[in-house]
Structure 1
């Protein structure tokens, strides 16, 4: 009688391409598919090890000679808002929050396009159409929510339907993971990006979840430096989470021995059921 063992997640490496955060660098990613009955457990386990989700893929930077990208999360019980952050919360108190299943709408896409055209006109998403946007929002094999922030006093002919900010959020077993957020660029003075993070901290606290996952903090990158402004920030560095007490203590300098070989990285990954991992770095 033939017995078939369940397949372990297979890990792959992308081809090098220009880094979106640090000029003159090349990036590559270690990734695996997120699918099947164990998708949620796999996402929970790998999120704790610096991975991020994009649709049905989990990935983590694995550049040849650079380890500047560090996964970041806020420890909710150690977070204390600054005076500036408290002002942001008060300034946006008129917004109404609505959480729903991840379903894309034309109003969301209109807001998304305005956000990209204003903030990331030359980025990797610049040419994304409505169907690709819908895939980004809706293709999720785990427990995800779309958090919308609306102005109830917006005129009926508003192109965004009153939407001011949107965040696609995953609910993990130990926190909320902010997968992607965007907001009305015309409300720059409202600091909506900051407000959405602050509101997710409040949401996590209300749910009894200890962390809010923010994605990657990259020292030396103006795009990603803002994450160091939040108290209670932790980064995943050298295989463990540690407090970011001194942001200036981390450097974006490259070094040929700063990154372990792919096989070693994969061997160190802890899967939820401790099965062996597979590798393909073609």
Structure 2
């Protein structure tokens, strides 16, 4: 593996998942040149991307954030997942370039779903820095119905799989579970491409926001520097 320079901020900050905890991360030096091979290796070792920044949680008193991934060739559709796919069978899925129109859909999602969060109020600079800027290996997977926006999942492409970065959708269609649908469609895309993994980011023990990731089975978790079978709790 290429020698990597890691940076660690001197001060921790409030955790976004547990109000009584502090959070801190390790960052890959932004001056590091990262090709797809290096990005794949970093991803395998628990690093994630936010814009151009590549990071891994390194909290002083907590290790709740654990990367998880779906082995796509063994993935099984539950009755609920089949129902979700049927409910959106008229949606068309395609790859699109980021645009001001998609920013508008993103802003609508943040305003309606996350007005109490750190991403509110949304702005265009935030959208481009968070989702559009990167390392030229990401794509916008967009679902539309007769041309109308329904959902978008920003996905990173690695040598060994696809990685979900962030999903936003039209809240008017929340009952159709658009977030779950986009994970299912991305998993199916990885299957078609012959890629072994769909990375879902961090599962966080004790966080209700991250419980949903347990429903994708089978699932693997990265603990103690190795990938092992995830056991639901």
Q: Kindly indicate whether structure 1 or structure 2 has the higher relative contact order, using CA contacts under 8 Å at least 6 residues apart.
A: 1
3-state SS of the aligned residue for 2:164?
strand
User: Gaps (5+ residues) in structure 2?
Assistant: none
Cα separation, 2, equivalents of 1:204 and 1:35: 31
Cα RMSD after superposing both structures: 1.7
Equivalent residue, structure 1, for 2:218: 232
CA contact (8 A) 2:66 2:223 kept: yes
Query: Within the alignment, does 1:212 sit opposite 2:208 as a pair?
Result: no
Cα contact 1:39–1:142 (8 A) shared by 2: no
1:35 deviation in Å?
Answer: 5.7
Contact 2:111 2:122 in 1 (8 A): no
Task: Give me the whole-angstrom Cα distance separating, in 1, the residues matched to 2:109 and 2:131.
Answer: 16
**Does the alignment pair 1:140 with 2:134?**
yes
Deviation at 1:81? 1.1
Question: Given the two structures, how large is their TM-score scaled by the length of structure 2?
Answer: 0.93
Residue of structure 2 in register with 1:33 after alignment: 29
Cα displacement string for residues 178-198 of structure 1 (whole angstroms, at most 9, x for unaligned residues): 111111111111000000000
Q: Is the 8 A contact 2:28 2:53 kept in 1?
A: yes
Distance (Å, rounded) in 1 between the aligned partners of 2:14 and 2:32: 32
SS for the counterpart of 1:182 is strand
Bigger CA drift: 69-78 or 112-121?
Answer: 112-121
Tell me which protein shows more strand as a share of its residues. Answer: 2
Alignment-derived partner of residue 158 in structure 1: none
Does residue 222 of structure 2 align to residue 244 of structure 1? no
Give TM-score, length-normalised by structure 1: 0.78
Query: How many residues are aligned here?
Result: 231
- Give unpaired runs (5+ residues) of structure 1: 1-6, 155-161, 249-282
What is residue 95 of structure 2 aligned with on the other side? Answer: 99
Deviation at 1:104, TM superposition (A): 2.6
